[in-house]
Chains A and B, each alone.
Chain A
Amino acid sequence: MTSDELNWAMAGVVGSVLTVATVVGWVLERKQNQLGLNPAAIGTFNSRLRSWWIMCCLLAVAFWRATPTVMLFGAVSFWALREYITLTPTRLGDHRALGWMFYVIAPLHFVLVAFNQYALYSILIPVYGFLFIPLRVAIAGDTKRFLERVAKIQTGLLICVYCLGFAPALLYLKSIENYTDRARLLFFFVVVAILAESLQFLWDKLYGQHVVAPEINGTRTWEGVLGGAVTTAFIGAAFHVFTPYTQVWHTALVCLLVAVMVFAGAMTMSAIKRDRGVRDYGTLVEGHGGVLDRIDGICFAAPIFYHVSEHLLSFG
């Protein structure tokens, strides 16, 4: 198949799976009384589905051009960052540092991604940003909980900006010649992340026995992590034809890694949320969707996926 045909085939597969799930969700909602199911669970399922539809539809822009895709991820990153900082208590002295983060460091990161300056954007935040933020907070002259406040800002930058930036960076991978192949890899990555999340959820519900950390999240179990990761790897490998990897086990490996990282992201962000005593980032402020709740897995998986893919592709 040519690259274009593969794109359409992939869109067809994803679209039909989502359509089937939507129909199922719709039927469950209509029949929830007869079936005796938990209406809250169905509500969650349907709202998740809605966000997956939105993600997949928005991501279709990647097949058109790279720059608007980077801008799209920049906007998502901005929204995630404002949710994160809203939830994280900062003091008055952090105001200027936050200004630099929102207006200079974060936009600059995505500009560098759009111009494919890997050598610059790979160190902009972890080196320059991480050294500058404590300095700016120190200049403000407030010593109370200094290290903790700096760490909060740095973590926000790392997760919401730096890590997420590696997702659109896939569109500039040198080891793939054809642009549409790169776009398909990005799409594949996001779909695998979504898949891993739902499979983990399914395994937790069906076979979950040993909760990983009840204080952090009462529903995530080791069975869910392992079962979900292995299932994701198998399903991903079955769609090996959509990926640029030369070996089937390469595809399985990256899918496995994505699944593990999605778990890592959910776990870490849960820990932050529990510390703040909220359930979702979105519910702090009513009416906002909680972007960070949806993309935490993608944030954690993106840099690993980028790095491993680059190596697997260049060594064949």
Chain B
Amino acid sequence: MLTELMLTGLARFMSGASIRWVDCQPDTCQRVYFANHTSHIDVVLVWSSLPRYVRRLTRPVAAKDYWSKGMLRRHIARTYNAMLIDRREIKVHQSPVDLMLREIGDTHSVIIFPEGSRSSGEQVGEFKSGLYYISKKRPDIELVPVYLDNMNRILPREEFLPIPLLSCITFGPPMWLENGESKNDFLERARNAVLKLRRIDNDDD
């Protein structure tokens, strides 16, 4: 509880994040939030920008090999109720997507970063196919695109010290896998949904 409060507070202060919901509202229905990934604190930020009642039902997905090493990382992973997925040992019927879907059951939502690893910044990389398989196996889950703006400058990949600039987290309209849509088309559409949020202008005064 204390760790959560401190980490979340620190992440929110450092990122000066403002949150926008564009054609989308916070909801407790099952969702997959997929975001562009540029910094270590992305997960905490997306998670903390959800309202408390949604947060309780939302679990970040993290790599098991990284987050189960050492006391501190394990503690942090527990704090955020993270779902640790083994990305090394992939067996038949034990694919990360299957594991994840089993874990979330009928109640939880998840936060994923479909680029796989953190990208260097400006560009949003190609999406890995996980998102497609989730949607194919569970067509009822809403897929919500999330765009994190400026996070690559706050905490770039090789740095450890965040610079307290201002950032913006935008949640976009939910999407689903269309009937008969191919994997590549769908992944491209999902990627464009994230990119589109970058260009939405603020309604200034």
Residue numbers of A with Cβ under 8 A of B are 40, 43-44, 47, 78, 82-83, 85-86, 90, 92, 95-96, 98-99, 102-103, 279-280, 282-288
CB contacts (< 8 Å) of B145 on chain A: these are none
CA distance A98 to B121 in the complex (A): 17
Q: B203: which A residues are within 8 A, CB to CB?
A: 286
Report which of A90, A92, A102, A280 forms a contact with B204, defined as CB distance below 8 A.
A280
Chain A minimum-CB-distance residue to B168: A285
Minimum CB distance partner of A97 in chain B: B163
Q: Chain B residues with Cβ under 8 A from A90's Cβ?
A: 153
Knowing A86-B150, A279-B204, A280-B204, say if A102 contacts B164 (CB, 8 Å): yes
A-B contact pairs, 14 of them (CB 8 A): A43-B205, A82-B165, A86-B153, A92-B120, A95-B153, A95-B159, A96-B159, A96-B161, A102-B164, A283-B202, A285-B16, A286-B168, A286-B202, A287-B19
Extra pairs beyond A82-B164, A82-B166, A285-B18 (8, CB < 8 Å): A86-B153, A86-B165, A95-B153, A103-B161, A279-B204, A286-B168, A286-B202, A286-B204
A281 to B77, CA, bound (A): 36
Residue contact B156 to A82, C-beta cutoff 8 Å: no
Q: Which of B156, B165, B168 has a CB less than 8 Å from the CB of A92? A: B156
- Shortest C-beta distance, B201 to chain A (Å), equals 9
B114-152, CB under 8 A of A: which get 1 and which 0?
000000110000000000000000000000000000100
Q: Does B48 contact A (CB under 8 A)?
A: no
Interface range on chain B (Cβ under 8 Å from partner): 20 to 34
Q: How far is the CA of A92 from the CA of B120 in the complex (A)?
A: 9
Q: Specify which chain B residues have a CB less than 8 angstroms from the CB of A82 in the assembled complex.
A: 16, 164-166
Closest chain-A Cβ to B103's Cβ sits at a distance in Å of: 34
| In the A-B complex, the 8 residue pairs with the closest CB atoms | A283-B204, A287-B18, A86-B166, A285-B166, A86-B165, A286-B202, A98-B163, A99-B161
Question: In the complex, what residue of chain A is closest to B19 when comparing beta carbons?
Answer: A287
B167 at the interface (CB under 8 A from A): yes
Residues from chain A with Cβ under 8 Å of B204 in the complex: 279-280, 282-283, 286
Known contacts: A86-B150, A95-B156, A279-B204. The answer to whether A286 contacts B20 by CB under 8 A is yes
Most buried by B among A86, A98, A99: A86
